[in-house]
Structure 1
């Protein structure tokens, strides 16, 4: 992770009246903060409360995502946001002892442990863009790699198509070589049989021709 996890979910600390309701990332003031979810902004905190300036987003998954202690908010209530959209900048507002981002998640009105989302949050925080090397987790901890998996599957399917094509070409070349060798050998035998006299000549030619036709047609002549 780019930023240190300075406070975990549920810890008891002197600066709070109860267990910590989220996680804190020690990000410098002015760091770009981005939305971790597609959703709608339902609240913009004005800085008068403990959480300072901040944003609450109602995600499409029906959970609420809370960003606190911001120094600047670039969205307003009612704005639709998508994953990666800029929300504003981190700060040191409200009940805060140092610049950091407070991040919390509510489900059915109750705070839940957002720790599993810390790598994903960390990867989209800051000015260097999204770090695609970090696995992105949802709130249950399931890895969301659908797009990457699809790309890999496409690559594997393309490679398999190439292999199948090359194998087919190889088989055709081998079959052509066998057919050419068979025809050449048969013609050579027929020409040799032509030197025989009378009935022996035609018996030999018919016999060899019959064998050639049978082989070329896949043995369908009895």
Structure 2
């Protein structure tokens, strides 16, 4: 996570007058650029002065949830503006009822009820600050999804860990390459070499090779059957 989570959802403190915290706070320097977490529409742009959120933006996300950004120093968007994930909405600050520079992020569901935004905390953090790359953000989301897929495959196969699964796939690919060398020398040799390179690359099979492993085996099987 790029920025430290300084206050959790539901937290109680004297500053909030015994009202549970309805969002999460990220400690970050004033002037840090903030970006929209998801595609959505600007529903409200507010400035409560020294009270509450101070300067803030309310964005209705495409999934119906509402994202609320508070204590901002500057707002770059307007009411009704359509946003794509990753678009700049303004800069973090220390406005409103705040004890220091930070971003307050909160969420409501489609029925207007407060919900815990902690599950998206890392995404909010990564959307903030300099050097944001939307392509890298999408890749990170893909990597997280791929990790879940690999874990599910390992569980289905009765393999205790992802690393063990990667090692098993490593052996499978080598054996497949050796097995079909007699049938299709060029392809078999190529697979064996590729698997060998992967072994030298790292002690465990790289994740990207693991992900493509099953696709590769599918193609190989089709070629064998087609022949």
Q: TM-score, structure 1 length as denominator? A: 0.63
Structure 2 equivalent of residue 97 of structure 1: 99
Shift of 1:124: 1.4
Shift of 1:9: 0.5
Can you list the C-alpha shifts for 1:109-161, whole angstroms capped at 9, x where unaligned?
12111111101111111112145499559xxxxx9738x98x98994576346
Shift of 1:98: 0.6
Q: Is the 8 A contact 1:119 1:135 kept in 2?
A: no
- Mapped to 2, the partners of 1:15 and 1:56 lie a distance apart of 23
How has the CA–CA distance of structure 1 residues 21 and 136 changed in structure 2, closer, same or farther, with 3 Å as cutoff?
farther
What SS does the corresponding residue of 1:15 show, helix, strand or coil?
Answer: helix
Alignment size in residue pairs: 163
Structure 2 equivalent of residue 163 of structure 1: 220
Q: Which has the higher helix share?
A: 2
Q: Is the 8 A contact 1:26 1:100 kept in 2?
A: yes
Q: Name structure 2 gaps, 5 residues minimum.
A: 150-207
Q: Name structure 1 gaps, 5 residues minimum.
A: 138-142, 172-222
- Mapped to 2, the partners of 1:113 and 1:98 lie a distance apart of 22
Structure 1 equivalent of residue 90 of structure 2: 88
The CA RMSD measured in Å over matched residues stands at: 3.3
- Mapped to 2, the partners of 1:132 and 1:84 lie a distance apart of 9
Structure 2 equivalent of residue 114 of structure 1: 117
- Which structure would you say has the larger Rg? 1
How has the CA–CA distance of structure 1 residues 27 and 136 changed in structure 2, closer, same or farther, with 3 Å as cutoff?
farther
- Mapped to 1, the partners of 2:4 and 2:29 lie a distance apart of 11
